Amino acid sequence: GQQLNQSPQSMFIQEGEDVSMNCTSSSIFNTWLWYKQDPGEGPVLLIALYKAGELTSNGRLTAQFGITRKDSFLNISASIPSDVGIYFCAGQLWTNSGYALNFGKGTSLLVTP
């Protein structure tokens, strides 16, 4: 699969702070998705982006599809303890493997009260 570079690898913040994480790739994607995964569970879809430049919000979460189609970022405003988890970016494109999601390695977020 295509290599996605997700950063930072981990973040340790205080409740109420804003969070920003991003994902870059050497390949162009036609869809970017952001997922959150809690321990022992499957990833849960947070935001889906389908057009270059698109900026989409879901509550306190905001994500953007980069103009170059090679990057995306996710912001979380006013973090709360339940934001703790691992956040994954995923890009989708058509290859000879079909349409598949390529995932980053994740950003681990810890929030202290």
Partner 1 sequence: ETGVTQSPTHLIKTRGQQVTLRCSSQSGHNTVSWYQQALGQGPQFIFQYYREEENGRGNFPPRFSGLQFPNYSSELNVNALELDDSALYLCASSFKSGRYANTGELFFGEGSRLTVL
Residues lying near partner 1 in the complex (CB under 8 A): 1, 4, 6, 30-31, 33, 35, 40-45, 48, 88, 90, 92, 94, 97-106
Q: Which is nearer to partner 1, 82 or 97 (CB)?
A: 97
Nearest 5°: CA angle at 52, between 78 and 33? 55
Distance CA 90, CA 103 (A): 4
How many angstroms separate the CA atoms of 26 and 44, rounded? 25
CA separation for the pair 15, 70 (Å, rounded):
31
Kindly state the smallest distance separating residue 102's Cβ from partner 1, in Å: 7
Q: Looking at beta carbons only, is 61 or 101 nearer to partner 1?
A: 101
Collapsing DSSP to helix, strand or coil, 9 comes out as coil
Q: How far is the CB of 16 from partner 1 (least distance, A)?
A: 28
Choose between 41 and 59: whose C-beta lies nearer to partner 1.
41
CB of 10 to partner 1, least distance (A): 11
Q: Which residues pair with 86 in a beta bridge?
A: 37, 108
